[in-house]
Amino acid sequence: MANFNKVILMGNLTRDPQLSYLPSQTAVVDFGIATNRKWTGQDGQQREEVCFVDCRAFGKTAENINKYCRKGKPLMVEGRLTLDQWTAQDGQKRSKHRVTVESFQFLPGGGAGSGGPEQTSAAGDGIPSEDNGSANEAQTGSKDDIPF
């Protein structure tokens, strides 16, 4: 039987990324993302639910997320779902699902982390591109620009 494990999330960071290093000196960053879903119930009332997801990234991806992202910043992540299991101090077995981030994309928008790059390289590796000129032209609304 074939298996497939892929997660794509777009949301806002719920806390500042926390960077640490493994004994092998590999960077690890932990952060959370909140995604919102809005809908109208059968009674006509607007409803909203928020899903909070813990995420972890490694290596250069971790370093870039830590450098450019802050609480409230929008981000798209792509990765796989992993299950962490451990025994708590009280002897109880615990577990939790987490997204292990394999790639990410900066998204335009505010949040506390504004000021960092809004685009990433064409390779999709989450590393800021050097040329943000086209993005800046689109934001200034030059009359020579086509809006699509």
Q: In the chain, which residue ranges form alpha helices assigned H by DSSP?
A: 59-68, 133-140
Q: β-strands 93-106, 46-58: how paired?
A: parallel
Per-residue pLDDT of 26-55, as tens digits, reads 999 999 999 999 989 999 999 999 999 999
Q: What local confidence, expressed as pLDDT, does residue 1 receive? A: 86
Per-residue confidence (pLDDT) for residue 109, from 0 to 100? 80
Helix H or strand E encompassing 36: strand 27-40
pLDDT for 123 equals 39
Q: What three-state secondary structure class fits 108?
A: coil
pLDDT tens figures, 73-123: 999 999 999 999 999 999 999 999 999 999 999 999 865 444 444 444 333
pLDDT computed for residue 146 by the predictor: 57
Query: What domains are defined for the chain?
Result: 7-138 (2.40.50.140)
The DSSP bridge pattern shows strands 7-13 and 74-87 to be antiparallel
Question: Tokens for 57?
Answer: 């990234």
pLDDT band at 147 (very low <50, low <70, confident <90, very high): low
Please classify residue 134 by burial: count the beta carbons closer than 10 Å to its beta carbon, then call 0-12 exposed, 13-18 middle and 19+ buried.
exposed
In whole angstroms, give the CA distance from residue 45 to residue 51: 20
